[in-house]
Amino acid sequence: MLAGLNGHGLFFGNMKGGVGKSTLCMYTLEMIQKLRPNLDILLIDTDPQGTSSKMMKSILAPEQIRFMPMGDRYDGAIMSTIDGVMKSHLVKDNSLVVVDTAAGKIGNIWQVALLCNTMIVPTSLSWTDMQPTIDYVQEIDARKEDYTSMTPHIIVVPNRTSPNQKDYSLINNAAKSLNVIVAPPVSDFSIVKHSSHDYKGLKDVEKSRFYQEIETLGNFIVSHVLSGELDRIFAE
Ligand SMILES: Nc1ncnc2c1ncn2[C@@H]1O[C@H](COP(=O)(O)OP(=O)(O)O)[C@@H](O)[C@H]1O
Ligand SMILES: [Mg+2]
C-alpha cells in the first residue's frame, strides 16, 4: 500500500515476451476475484497487442477494463492518464489494479510500476528466459534504489515448468542473489495453450491440475500481497 492509496497494484512484467504475463494475469485475476469477491478490481492493459483487455471482456464488466497502450516512444499524455486512472482507483478501499504489460525493458512504464505494491514476473526455467528475467529484476532493483522506494516487491513465478519437475534449484539459486521471492510454480499444460487464444475463464479449466495450481498461486498472492506480508518480508 502506498501513502494515501488504500488499494494494491499488481504489475505483470518481464523483458521477455511469451513467458506467460498475459496468461497468468488473466487467470490469477479471475482467481483473486473468486477468492476475494469484495475486491474492486480494475485491469489496465498497456500492451499495444491488447491480449488481456480483449480476452477478459467475457469475464469483467466493461468499466473494469482499460486498454491504455504504451508504445516504444515516450508518450507523456498516455502516461499521465494511466497515472490518474490508477490513483483514482487505488484511493478506494478494497481496490486492486492489475496491470498487464508488453515485453521490453522497464523504460517509461517504470512510473506505472512505482504505483504498484507488487510486480509479478513469470519465467520458464530455461536460461533463454531466466537470463532476461534476472536482467529485468536487476534493472527494477536499480530503479528502486534511485527512487529510494521499497516497492514494487518482486515475485518471480516459475511458469511452463514440466508437470514432473521436482528440482527448482536453478531458480532458487538465482533468486538468492536477487531481491525477490519465488511463488509456487505453474506447469506447462496443453489446456492453457488451447484456451489462451480464446479465454473462456476458469470455468473452462475447472477440475484440471492447472486450476489447482492457479488456485495455489492466487492464494499465495492474496496472502502475501493483500495482507501486507510482503512489506514485512522485504523490510527484514
Ligand atoms: N502454463 C502454461 N502452459 C502452457 N502454455 C502456456 C502457459 N503459460 C503461457 N502459455 C502459452 O505461452 C504463450 C505466451 O503466453 P503469453 O501469456 O501470451 O505471454 P506474454 O504475455 O508474456 O507474452 C501463449 O500461447 C500461452 O498460451
Ligand atoms: Mg502478453
pLDDT in tens, 24-69: 999 999 999 999 999 999 999 999 999 999 999 999 999 999 999 9
Q: How far apart are the first and last CA of the chain?
A: 17
Residue-level pLDDT at 212: 97
For the record, the C-alpha cell of 9 comes out as 497494484
Cβ of 195 closer than 6 Å to ligand 1, yes or no, is: no
DSSP state of 183: P
Is the confidence at residue 74, as pLDDT, over 90?
no
Residue-level pLDDT at 40: 97
Question: Torsion over CA of 37, 42, 43 and 44, rounded to 10 degrees?
Answer: -170
Is the confidence at residue 23, as pLDDT, over 70?
yes
Residue whose CA is at the smallest distance from ligand 1 atom 25: 193
Residue whose CA is at the smallest distance from ligand 1 atom 20: 18
Cβ of 19 closer than 6 Å to ligand 1, yes or no, is: yes
Residue-level pLDDT at 2: 65
Q: Which ligand is nearest to the CA of 26?
A: 1
Cα 158 from Cα 179, distance rounded (Å): 16
Helix (H, G, I), strand (E, B), or coil: what is residue 58? helix
Query: Cis ω on the peptide bond leading into residue 163 (within 30° of 0)?
Result: no
Residue whose CA is at the smallest distance from ligand 1 atom 3: 188
Domains and CATH numbers, the chain: 8-235 (3.40.50.300)
Cβ of 52 closer than 6 Å to ligand 1, yes or no, is: no
Q: Convert the pLDDT of each residue in 170-202 to its tens digit.
A: 899 988 889 999 999 999 999 888 765 678 899
Nearest atom, ligand 1, residue 24 CA? 17
Nearest atom, ligand 1, residue 160 CA? 1
Residue with C-alpha cell 530503479?
143
Is the pTM higher than 0.85?
Answer: yes
Cα 145 from Cα 93, distance rounded (Å): 29
Residue-level pLDDT at 11: 98
Cα 179 from Cα 8, distance rounded (Å): 20
Cα 31–Cα 224–Cα 40 angle in degrees, nearest 5:
45
CB neighbourhood size of 58 (10 A): 10
Residues 6+ apart with CB under 8 A from 167: none
Cα 163 from Cα 148, distance rounded (Å): 40
Pocket test for ligand 1, best of 196, 198, 212 (most atoms within 8 A of CB): 196
